[in-house]
A and B are shown apart, each in its own frame.
Chain A
Amino acid sequence: SQQGEEDPQALSIQEGENATMNCSYKTSINNLQWYRQNSGRGLVHLILIRSNEREKHSGRLRVTLDTSKKSSSLLITASRAADTASYFCATRAFPQGGSEKLVFGKGTKLTVNP
């Protein structure tokens, strides 16, 4: 089953507004990553937050992590039309007896209207 679940599934905002996406996961993690995917293209890594970190910034991106609630949020400030894409959270799970693998949620589809 999916490790991460994003919320909302779709989000539509106006240019200049902030966009917030949430991710919940089920098991203990080593780190949580956010990726972006433009329609039909490959995924691009945006930001990584380790399990011992609570907040991280990168340009217009701000990620928070609450391990007690098993949740993370991605905030995109001052959004632009070019931010229109799907955003996925991904977690490193540690399956018993297996190596690490990256498990993705179903994503939030963000539309930024000019």
Chain B
Amino acid sequence: KAGVTQTPRYLIKTRGQQVTLSCSPISGHRSVSWYQQTPGQGLQFLFEYFSETQRNKGNFPGRFSGRQFSNSRSEMNVSTLELGDSALYLCASSPGLGRGSTGELFFGEGSRLTVL
């Protein structure tokens, strides 16, 4: 079974630009979560999608947005990039959430964004 695939792996943008990151979850997984990882703040939860609906959202400004498609693939977008948005963006998938699930996440390798 193929793992979680994130594209692109590396990208460089300048302040004010926007960026779109893509995530293909493990086949059959319906939940996709996004995290931002920086040396200073660690792993910060961005949002989670399940069956095309955003189920949870972290404390990030509205410049950060996401969506999920009917095939469970997900994208996140960051508009008006700032220097502080430089980070490793990690996508994780799971079969789905519910009281009976364990919530183990399967992570992709991440997209490393550098904002100049």
Which A residues lie at the B interface, using CB under 8 A?
2, 30-31, 33, 35, 40-45, 48, 88, 90, 92, 95, 98-107
Contact = CB atoms under 8 A, between A and B. Distances in A.
8 contacts: A2-B42, A48-B102, A48-B104, A98-B55, A98-B56, A101-B58, A104-B35, A106-B43
Given A33-B104, A104-B35, 9 more contacts: A2-B42, A31-B103, A40-B110, A95-B56, A99-B50, A100-B56, A100-B103, A102-B33, A105-B42
B110 to A, nearest CB: 6
Contacts, number: 62
B102 A44 contact: no
Contacts of B109: 41-42
A44 B105 CA distance: 8
B108 interface: yes
Given A40-B112, A48-B102, A99-B56, A104 B107 contact: no
Nearest to A6: B42
Interface of B: 4, 33, 35, 42-43, 45, 48, 50, 55-56, 58, 88, 90, 92, 97, 102-110, 112
A5 B4 CA distance: 27
B56 A101 contact: yes
A101 B112 CA distance: 23
A43 B33 contact: no
